[in-house]
A = this chain, B = another copy of it.
Amino acid sequence: MFDVNNIRKDFPMIVNNPNLIYFDNSATTYKPYCVLNAVKDFYENKTANVHRGDYDNSFIVSSEFDEARNVVAKFLNCDKNEVVFTSGATHSLNQAAQYGFQYLEKGDVILTTLSEHASNILPWFNVSKKTGATIEYIKQDKEGIIDLESFKKQMNSKVKVVTLAHVSNVLGHINPIKEIAKIVRKFDCILVVDGAQSAPHIKVDVKDLDVDMFAFSSHKMCGPDGIGVLYGKSEILNKLEPLIYGGGSNARFTSDGNILLREIPERFEAGTPNIEGVLGLKKAVEYLMDIGMDNIHNHEVKLKDYMISKLKELDNVTLYNPSADTGIIAFNVKGVFSQDSGSYLNNKKICVRSGHHCAKMVPNLINENDTVRASMYLYNTFEEIDRFIEALSNLNIESALDIFF
């Protein structure tokens, strides 16, 4: 049984600040004690490097590192060798874009959306600049919803990469990846999915979705910073060039410049990995799987429905994504600049984000330069939403200045 009160007890940030409302979960999330303990255990009882078994701690840590890969593979429903550890979603997405440098050329098309996060669009801008491939945008309505029929029409043999977020970090819809994959499969084209906002919140089965690559970050799903994952189908990984070269990713090299790379996934993991990050991510994934991704999603949908219904009752609020599928809500208070709203809420001990949320083409869709974003997670409550709504109901250009007096 999903019991938010029990869940709250797992998080030191909540135990230490029970009245602080944290609605910035799309930016980063709190971490449970079990993750902190995994990191602590590494510092206190088994600090060592991996990939070598010369002594016991090194062997123990290497085995747990390996086991973490198994856990992530189970989480995604893929093979262990299809799980690449990276420093985060941004690194994963840049590694994925390496495909573009290798296989795209002038005349080819990269199809994406206007609601992408910078981390899933700038790497492809760079591919476009260097290969001459062009970027085109999938049609979306003003809430960012994709029209599958027009997507179908946009697909043709020139399109070599389709890349988009599973869930937009501003507009909160779950994109129909499985349906998109079915269409993409009719062409010689790969499908890259930015899962930074989906993996933490909904069940992801990469086999079922049939994606070629899928990226996400640990820190947005209760895990440590500085660690993330790139899933890639083994056929794709086998023909992908590493973005980073170095120790641990090669089996041999000789002074005449020959390099024999290790097998996938290690060939993509040059350098000492973020070991404590991997051990922490393992715990985070186990924690989320124990609670159940469906339970987490259900809870968030209930919170989201409640928040939207309450926001709609407020005259002073403009809501940009009333049909959101997940706990990400974008709005503004009429006449109040988003950052002023953010500061006002901060003074009421409510953490939200204001601005463009690194998705700087979203204004093309919603016709608004910047927004306030409230994003929820498994530990948020209905009472917190009540306090949030109460605070918002009193917000206007005059009260926004209260904090300065």
Interface residues of A (CB under 8 A from B): 12-13, 16-17, 24, 27-31, 35-36, 39-40, 43-45, 47-49, 52, 54-58, 87-91, 93-94, 114, 117-123, 125-126, 128-129, 135, 137, 217, 219, 224-227, 243-250, 252-255, 257, 259, 270-277, 339, 342-343, 345-346, 350-355, 358, 360-361, 364
Of chain B, the residue at the smallest CB distance from A241 is: B126
B246 x A137 contact (CB < 8 A)? no
A87: chain B residues at CB < 8 Å are 87, 91, 226, 271, 274
The contact sample of 23 A-B pairs, CB cut-off 8 A, is A12-B43, A24-B48, A24-B54, A36-B40, A52-B355, A54-B354, A55-B352, A57-B351, A87-B87, A88-B272, A90-B271, A94-B245, A94-B270, A119-B246, A119-B247, A123-B246, A125-B253, A219-B272, A225-B226, A225-B273, A226-B277, A227-B274, A254-B360
B128 x A257 contact (CB < 8 A)? yes
A255 x B43 contact (CB < 8 A)? no
From the candidates B58, B271, B345, name the one contacting A91 in the complex (CB within 8 A): B271
A371 CA / B173 CA spacing, docked (Å): 56
A247 x B58 contact (CB < 8 A)? no
Which of A54, A56, A273, A274: most chain B Cβ within 10 A?
A54
From the candidates B39, B135, B270, name the one contacting A119 in the complex (CB within 8 A): B270
A45 CA / B135 CA spacing, docked (Å): 43
A364: chain B residues at CB < 8 Å are 255
User: A351 with B246: in contact, given A54-B343, A90-B271, A226-B277 (CB under 8 Å)?
Assistant: no
B252 x A360 contact (CB < 8 A)? yes
A255 CA / B363 CA spacing, docked (Å): 11
From the candidates B88, B120, B243, name the one contacting A243 in the complex (CB within 8 A): B243
B36 x A44 contact (CB < 8 A)? yes
A243: chain B residues at CB < 8 Å are 94, 243-244
User: A43 with B36: in contact, given A123-B246, A253-B360 (CB under 8 Å)?
Assistant: yes
A225 x B272 contact (CB < 8 A)? yes
A45 x B13 contact (CB < 8 A)? yes
B52 x A353 contact (CB < 8 A)? yes
B12 x A44 contact (CB < 8 A)? yes
Of chain B, the residue at the smallest CB distance from A256 is: B135
CB distance from A379 to the nearest CB of B (A): 12
A246: chain B residues at CB < 8 Å are 90, 93-94, 117-120, 122-123
Beyond the given pairs A87-B271, A118-B250, 17 more chain A to chain B contacts, judged by CB atoms under 8 angstroms and listed by A's residue number, are A24-B58, A27-B48, A27-B58, A36-B40, A90-B270, A94-B243, A118-B270, A119-B271, A122-B259, A128-B257, A129-B257, A224-B276, A225-B274, A226-B226, A226-B227, A226-B273, A252-B360
Which of A58, A128, A137: most chain B Cβ within 10 A?
A58
B225 x A118 contact (CB < 8 A)? no
Of chain B, the residue at the smallest CB distance from A20 is: B57
B255 x A137 contact (CB < 8 A)? yes
From the candidates B13, B48, B219, name the one contacting A44 in the complex (CB within 8 A): B13
